[in-house]
Amino acid sequence: MSQETLEGEKQQVGFIDRLIEGLAAQQASMAESRTVKRFLLNVAVSIHSCVNGTNHVFGGWAGEASYEGLSILTTFELFPGRELNVNFEPAVGHPCHMPVKLTHCDKRVGGIYRSGGNFCYDDAPAGRGE
Amino acid sequence: MLRDRLSGANTMTQAPQETANVQAEVIKRLVDGLAAKHAKLSEQRTITRLALNVPVIIYEKITDRERAREVWASDISRKGIGLLTNHELRADRHILIDFEPAIGQRCCIRVHLRRCEELVEGIFRSGGTFLTSE
C-alpha cells in the first residue's frame, strides 16, 4: 500500500482512539438535542406495501426505534411519503401491524438502503414519548 | 385483550386496524422494553459501542490489496467494528479495512473477522476485532 498507510500499531490505536472520541462527542451532542431518544431494535420485520391496488410483502431489518418512528434497512429503495404496514411480530411475539409513513431513504454502499419513518397514529395517542 | 386485538392478519388486506391508542400502547411497551434492555446492557458493557455509519473499503485478502470492496461500517468500539454488506464475508480470518472514504486519507487497520450473519435476504452483518487490540 502507499506511504500514507499508517503501519505502526501505535498510530492505528491512536487513530481509533481519536475516531471514537470524536464520535462520542458528536453523539452526546446529538442525543442532547434530540427530544425523542432512540434505541437499538435489531429485528427482522415484514413490510407490507400496497401499490396500485396490489399488495407487496418484503423483508427488512429494523435497526432502531423510538416512540415516534423507526429505521429500516432494505435491499431496494423505498419512497419517502409512502405509507407502509410494518409487522413487528419478531419483536413483540405476535402479529402486530403498524402503519409507518416514510420520511427518507438513503442509499448505502453495496445496494443497501436505509429508510426512516414515523408511526402513523391517528390522533392524540396515549403514552406517546412520555 | 390487547393481544387478541393485535393478533390475526398477516397481509395488508387483513391487517387489523388498531385504534391509535392501542397502536401507541404497543409502541410504548416495545420502546420501554428496549430502553430497559439498553440500560442493562450499558451497565454490563465495559466497551462502549458507537454508531459510525460511514463507507469503508475492505480488502478480503491482506496479501491481495488490489481486490477492494466498498462496504458500510455501522458501529465501532475501541475493540472492534461492525460492517453491513450485501454479500457474505467469510468469518474467522483477517481482513484489512481502509477508512479513506470516511476520513479522506488512507488509513488501513487489520481486523480479525469474527462472525457474519444474514439479517434478511441480501443484507449481512459482520463483526470483527481490531488486531491492534488483541
- Note whether B109 contacts A88, CB cutoff 8 Å: no
pLDDT score of A91: 76
Residue B70 and residue B108 in one domain? yes
pLDDT band at B106 (very low <50, low <70, confident <90, very high): confident
- Give kind and range of the element (H or E) at residue A86: strand A83-87
For residue B92, what pLDDT is reported? 94
Select the more confidently predicted residue: B64 or B116: B116
Joined together, the cell numbers standing for residue A5 give: 498507510
Region class of B72: left (phi > 0), else alpha (psi between -120 and 50), else beta: beta
Written as one string, the DSSP assignment of B55-92 is EEEEESSTT-TT-EEEEEEEEE-SSEEEEEESSPPPSS
My answer on whether B21 and B58 are in the same domain is: no
Q: Are residues B105 and B63 in the same domain?
A: yes
pLDDT over 80 at A47, yes or no: yes
Q: Which of B13, B81, B119, B134 to mutate to test the interface with A (most CBs of A within 10 A)?
A: B119
Q: What average pLDDT does range B6-30 have in this prediction?
A: 58
Give per-residue pLDDT as tens, B62-89.
Answer: 666 667 899 999 889 989 999 999 999 9
Number of domains into which chain B is organized:
2
Same domain for B57 and B110, yes or no, is yes
* pLDDT value for B13: 41
Q: Looking at the structure, do residues B59 and B113 belong to the same domain, yes or no?
A: yes
Helix extents (H) in chain B: 2-6, 20-44, 100-103
List, as own/partner pairs, every contact residues A101-108 make where C-beta atoms lie below 8 angstroms and the sequence separation is at least 24, other chains included: A102/A78, A103/A69, A104/A80, A105/A77, A105/A78, A105/A79, A105/A80, A107/A77, A108/A73, A108/B55, A108/B72, A108/B84
The DSSP output letter for B34 is: H
pLDDT: is B86 or B18 the higher one?
B86
Across A45-49, A79-83, A86-90, A115-119, least confident range: A86-90
Nearest residue to B55 (alpha-carbon basis) of B90, B81, B92: B81
Segment 61-90 of chain B within 8 Å of chain A by CB: 65, 69-72, 76-78, 84-87
| Nearest-CB residue to B38 (from A23, A40, A98) | A40
Q: Kindly report the length of chain A.
A: 130
Those residues whose C-beta lies under 8 Å from the C-beta of residue B64, and which sit 6 or more positions away, are none
* Residue B25 pLDDT class (50, 70, 90 cuts): confident
User: Domain containing B117 — which CATH number?
Assistant: 2.40.10.220
CB of A63 closer than 8 Å to CB of A74: no
Distance (Å, whole) CA B83 – CA A34? 26
pLDDT at A3: 44
Average pLDDT for residues B37-49, to the nearest whole number?
A: 74
Nearest-angstrom CA–CA distance, B89 and B2: 42
* pLDDT grade for B133, boundaries at 50, 70 and 90: low
Instruction: Give the gyration radius of chain A's Cα atoms.
Output: 19
pLDDT at residue A127, rounded to an integer: 38
Q: A88: which 3 cell numbers?
A: 413487528
When the pLDDT of each residue in chain A is averaged and rounded to a whole number, the result is 81
pLDDT computed for residue B4 by the predictor: 36
Same domain for B57 and B28, yes or no, is no
- Residue B96 and residue B125 share a domain: yes
In this predicted complex, what is the ipTM? 0.70
Residues of B in contact with A126 (CB under 8 A): 21, 24-25, 28
Cα torsion angle, A34, A40, A43, A44, sign? positive
A3-42 per-position pLDDT tens digit: 445 557 777 788 888 888 888 888 788 777 777 788 888 8
Q: Residue A94 pLDDT > 60, yes or no?
A: yes
Residue A50 and residue B11 in contact, taking contact as beta carbons nearer than 8 Å: no
Tell me the residue range of the domain where B85 lies.
50-133
Residues of B in contact with A91 (CB under 8 A): 30
> How sure is the predictor about B94, in pLDDT bands with cuts at 50, 70 and 90?
very high
- Predicted pLDDT at B68: 87
Are B84 and B118 contained in the same domain? yes
Q: Which of A72-81, B20-29, B74-83 has the lowest mean pLDDT?
A: B20-29
**Nearest of B39, B109, B112, B113 to residue A17 by alpha carbon:** B109
Residues B80 and B18 in one domain: no
Q: Are residues B24 and B59 in the same domain?
A: no
**Quick one: B29 and B60 in the same domain?**
no
Looking at per-residue pLDDT, the higher value among B58 and B132 belongs to: B58
Alpha carbon of residue B127 to chain centroid: 8
Whether residue B73 sits in one domain with residue B16: no
| Test the B interface: residue of A50, A56, A94, A97 with most B CBs within 10 Å | A97
**pLDDT, averaged across chain B:** 79
